[in-house]
Each structure stands twice: as C-alpha cells, then as structure tokens.
C-alpha cells in the first residue's frame, strides 16, 4: 500500500513535465519531435529508472494548441516497463494538462489488472510566474474495482505556489529556474490522509529541470533530473 501511494504521487508530479510551449506557453517547446529524458533516483541517490518523453501530433485550431506526449519508462536495469500517451492543451496564457494524464508510469502498473474509473480537474501552469504567486489546485479521483469491492482513492495537489528563483545545474546545463512548491494530499481506505510535499524547478524554453518529493517529515524520498534534451 505504501508503494502504491508513492507511485500515485510520482505520477501526479510527473504531469508537470508534459506541459508545452507554443505561442501561448513559454516554458516548454511544443514542436513535433522534441524529446526529454528524466532520470529518477531514490532518497539515497540510487538510480531507480529513466523516463523518455517525445512531443507528437501538434495542432492549432481557434487559438488553442493541442499535442500528445509519448512516454516510455524503463527500470534501473534498462528494461522497458511501460509506455503510454497523454494529451494537453495550451490556450490563452495557460497550459492545461488533462487530469487523465495523471494516470501514467507506476500508477498504471498498479492498476493494470483492475477496472478503474478516473475523474478530476486539470492542472494549470500560467506563463507569467512571479515569486509568491499562488497557483490553482488540482485533483484526481480513482475508483478501482477490486473484484466485488471498490477502492476509492483521491489525490489533491494543494498549496501550489511559486516559492523562489534559483539557478541549478543539470547534465544538460545550468538554468535559472522558478521553484514551484506543492503538497500532494492522498486519501485512501484505512490509510487516512497523507500529505507529501514536493518542489519542481522550471526553466523557460526547457520545462522541468528537476523535481524532488519528500515524506511527511520533510525527508527526501525521490527525485527526477533532466538528463537529455533534444529539439
């Protein structure tokens, strides 16, 4: 059960990778063929796996840009565990990621053998970020048929705010980033409410450069770092 909660949180954070840049978004390049790779580590810095993303099927209509992000996840031994596609839109001054895109990576593995119903609200990222700015909450609700009984799970991303600006280094280069703090609140049967803080480092023209997740005591549990970027 603990691994399931952690998987849900990782997937909820991962959607922040899949936003896009076009004329209406300046944080992520929205061009067919653009690719990213993120390497994941546990709290002790040991390799857990790699996730590759590729932008495809970009289209513009009525001032709205739509695209598909293709994702492939491999474990620390290089074995491909799963792949999936999800969509997102960019309109006006905001990128919106379909809440169903939250169902990816380890979460999909956990629910691969059961029937699920997913509802929720999109996660948003505006162009004009400033330190101290508060961002809209988001959530995903999952009802899983466990064979005669239904397990309900609710994950909310709350208290989203732009915490600071900070320059960080990655294998791809050095970037001036906005640091976005949020708390991921989970509610599951027999587990009560759990809150897991996280931070995302976001650079213009690149997107997410780094992400860290923490336990309820503030201890680092896992991280993701941009290790490849190709336009």
Which has the minimum average pLDDT: 36-50, 91-105, 111-125, 167-181?
A: 91-105
Report the percentage of the chain scoring pLDDT > 90.
37
Task: Tell how strand 64-75 and strand 94-97 pair up.
Answer: unpaired
Q: What local confidence, expressed as pLDDT, does residue 83 receive?
A: 79
Residue 111 confidence (pLDDT)? 55
Which H or E run contains 41? strand 35-42
Measured distance CA(164)–CA(132) in Å, rounded: 7
State the fold for domain 2-230. Answer: YmcC-like fold (2.40.360)
Higher-pLDDT residue of 22 and 188 is 188
| 8 band by pLDDT with thresholds 50, 70 and 90 | very low
**155-199 per-position pLDDT tens digit:** 888 999 999 999 999 999 999 999 999 998 888 776 678 888 999
What's the pLDDT score for residue 105? 46
Query: Is pLDDT above 50 for 84?
Result: yes
* Mean pLDDT computed over every residue of the chain: 81
Higher-scoring residue by pLDDT: 115, 214: 214
Go through 76-85 and write b for each residue having 16 or more CB atoms within 10 A of its CB, e for each that does not: eeeeeeeeee
pLDDT in tens, 89-110: 888 888 887 766 555 444 555 5
Q: If DSSP codes are grouped into helix, strand and coil, which group holds residue 86?
A: strand
DSSP code per residue over 46-58: -EEEEEEEEEEEE
pLDDT at 113: 57
């Amino acid at each position: 059960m603990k691994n399931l909660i952690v998987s849900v949180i990782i997937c909820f954070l991962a959607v922040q990778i899949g936003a896009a840049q076009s004329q209406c978004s300046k944080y992520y390049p929205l061009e067919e063929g653009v690719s990213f790779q993120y390497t994941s580590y546990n709290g002790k810095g040991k390799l857990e796996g790699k996730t590759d993303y590729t932008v495809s099927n970009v289209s513009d209509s009525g001032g709205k840009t739509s695209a598909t992000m293709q994702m492939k996840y491999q474990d620390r031994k290089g074995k491909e565990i799963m792949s999936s596609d999800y969509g997102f839109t960019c309109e006006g001054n905001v990128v919106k990621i379909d809440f169903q895109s939250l169902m990816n990576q380890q979460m999909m593995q956990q629910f691969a053998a059961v029937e699920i119903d997913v509802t929720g609200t999109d996660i948003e990222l505006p162009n004009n970020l400033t330190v101290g700015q508060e961002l809209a909450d988001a959530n995903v609700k999952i009802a899983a048929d466990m064979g005669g009984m239904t397990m309900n799970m609710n994950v909310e991303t709350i208290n989203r705010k732009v915490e600071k600006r900070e320059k960080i280094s990655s294998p791809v280069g050095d970037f001036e980033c906005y640091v976005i703090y949020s708390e991921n609140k989970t509610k599951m049967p027999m587990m009560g409410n759990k809150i897991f803080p996280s931070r995302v480092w976001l650079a213009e023209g690149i997107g997410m450069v780094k992400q860290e997740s923490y336990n309820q005591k503030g201890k680092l549990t896992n991280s993701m770092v941009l290790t490849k970027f190709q336009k």
